[in-house]
Chain A
Amino acid sequence: MSTAATADASSSGDTTEGSVRLLTLQSEDGEVFEVKETIATQSVTIKGMVDDDCATSTIPVCNVTGRTLAMVIEWWNKHEIGAVSNEKELKEWESQFDTIDDKSDRDDVYDLLMAANYLNIPTLLDCCTSAVAEAIKGKSTDEMREFFDIKSDFDEKEEDALRKENQWAFEN
């Protein structure tokens, strides 16, 4: 990763590297990252702050841990124009988010989803939501409950009634 995390939270504000302005982002658990403005504005939320001149001091990224924020920054770096030579290479790199069979992969994707939603990063949001969608497709209700750890809070009667109500959807 090209972005260095600095431990010193007080060095916030308008630092520059060459002609590129650096923004300071702080995660929920206090980790501080310096990121080029041109990269961070892939977040519609941050772009709005920059446009409104509100990005001069440390930007708190609530509800996002340092670990997740580092992943987000890695995503930004890969998606910066010119960072990878072709579309194919980018798709290959993105494919690491495609399978969420492991619980830890799933947790990463949920964390990224929440971050992408809060920071409004359309490309990351699309990537993570479609990974979860792929896991939903083709599963029976029981398989879905098992895969996603969903506990049914219906009693048997309620579930039967619901199934009957939308019978047309269960006739496959």
Chain B
Amino acid sequence: MEANTLDLVDRNQKTHKSEKAGENQNSDRISCLPDSIIYHILNFVPTIYVVQTSILSKRWKNIWISLPYIDFDDESVTDATGIEHSDDETLALRNKFRNSVNNFMLRRASSSTMSIIKFQLSTYCQFHGSHINEWISAAIRAGVLELDICIGNIENDLDYRLPSCLFNCKSLVTLKLCVDDVSFRFLDFFCFPNLKDMHLTHVILAKNFHHQLLNCPNLEKLHLDEFFIDMDPVLPSSNTFQDLTAERRSRILSNLDDAFIGMKCNHQSVGREVGRWLGTFIRKLSNVKTLRLSYASIKLLQYSQPCLLNHDHMPTFCNLKHLDLEVGGKDGDVVEILACLLQRSLDLQSLHLRYVFGSSWPRNWHGTLKPEEYLSNCDQHIRKLKKITVGNFWGTEKQIELVRLLLGNLRLEEITVQLHTTSYESLILLRQKLLQFPRLAKLVLLYETSEDEEDEEVIEEIFNVT
């Protein structure tokens, strides 16, 4: 936790000193701690246990009511974990969870004026949207700084809208929202003047989302996991929010350090339009130090323009140090986009390629150069790049070909390949194949020795430049 959030808890509260120091010292030292430290301790304790402390002694009777860190999860509330339950059990679990949160928030709102620093809910249950909105609204009324809500499902998912008070919340510094089983819609217009960390999972965003992000001038971290974009035109806002002027729209997110663009998309429905949208979005992120792109995001970028290297939409990433790309297991087209990103990231220090399963996309090779030429062309640009890691490598033809190209064309310190194979035989075969390629960089192979998960041990083999 940051030190500044602690300041919200009154540091000047009196220490509850034991009556006599020395020999007669009270052995109950925890009760003598100042409130600010007790709250700091309770930050790490699920809220339901904190409420149980109310009957310990008079000192503890009212501590829970002003609790600044609120954390409800299935396990602590009901002793239940994510495993399957019968319908009756699920219903009971849900009611218990809802009652606990409702009771707590109601009592807190009526008895305490202390701000909520963190409000965290995590449950596998399905809730009606109105309940979720009540909890979020209550937290916002208490000036919440950090909102972290992860819910299994929403009952009325099609009509569900987050509460409008959320979207101009001035206090919010961290916003994490996730619904496991359905996508929910984020509002078209929003403004978070103090927000630093936005983490949305399974969200549907409006077409003007990247412009609206400029209303979050302090944003440092943006993680959009499994999101869809709604390309329908955005209707003018009826409330106080105004859309931005053309001049402001052209700005970038200047404080952004870390971005993950986990776009979801199935290829049948892809239009160039979505790809171009993503291109403009990526331009706004050009200041980042760490960038991670999902497989679908990369494919969409490729689809947006026939030839990426001459692509004006792709910005220069002046500060980018770490790039993390998901690559489809059978995808052979990755070299062009990789070369395109490397040539625009002159400060890059490490690159991580991670193979993922997933539907294969139609072939889209527009390159005018051979793959070798793309890579040897960017070798001269990437002076600071020391290390490439290839993760989840299971050895398809395309995967082996990519490692051959990287080894033979880039002058780096090392290329690490994390091998994931189903049998010992295929591991030996893959290892042989990789070792026969000429190397401009040291090759590090990582693999597990045993198929038995109990005693797995990771082996690291290092092979020098040939």
Contact = CB atoms under 8 A, between A and B. Distances in A.
Interface of A: 44, 103, 106-107, 110, 113-114, 117, 120, 122, 125-126, 129-130, 132-134, 136-141, 144-145, 148-154, 159, 162-163, 166, 168-172
B44 interface: yes
B307 interface: no
A133 B56 contact: no
Interface stretch (B96-104, B259-267, B341-349): B96-104
B43 A169 contact: no
A132 B43 contact: no
Nearest to B46: A137
B28 interface: yes
B56 A122 contact: no
Contact of A170 (B2, B46, B52, B58): B52
Nearest to A161: B55
A153 B33 contact: no
Contacts of A129: 37, 40-41, 43-44
Contacts of B61: 162
Contact of A141 (B29, B44, B56, B100): B56
A162 B61 CA distance: 8
In the A-B complex, the 5 residue pairs with the smallest Cβ-Cβ separation, listed nearest first, are A133-B44, A169-B51, A149-B27, A129-B41, A149-B28
B274 to A, nearest CB: 40
A122 B2 CA distance: 7
Given A122-B3, A126-B40, 5 more contacts: A129-B37, A132-B41, A139-B49, A141-B56, A170-B52
Contacts, number: 101
B51 A144 contact: no
A28 B210 CA distance: 56
Contacts of A133: 41-45
B56 A163 contact: no
A154 B44 contact: no
30 contacts: A103-B27, A106-B29, A110-B29, A110-B33, A117-B37, A122-B1, A130-B44, A132-B41, A137-B45, A137-B49, A138-B49, A140-B52, A141-B52, A141-B55, A145-B56, A148-B30, A149-B27, A150-B57, A150-B60, A152-B56, A154-B55, A162-B55, A163-B55, A166-B54, A166-B103, A169-B48, A169-B51, A169-B52, A172-B48, A172-B78
Contacts of A132: 30, 41
Contacts of A136: 41-42, 45, 49, 53
Interface in B253-302: none
A171 B41 CA distance: 23
A106 B29 CA distance: 9
Given A144-B53, A162-B61, A171 B96 contact: yes
Contacts of B461: none
Interface string B12-56: 000000000000000111110110110011111110110111111
A44 B7 CA distance: 12
| Most B-side CB within 10 Å, residue of A114, A120, A134, A150 | A150
Contacts of B99: 168
A171 B1 CA distance: 31
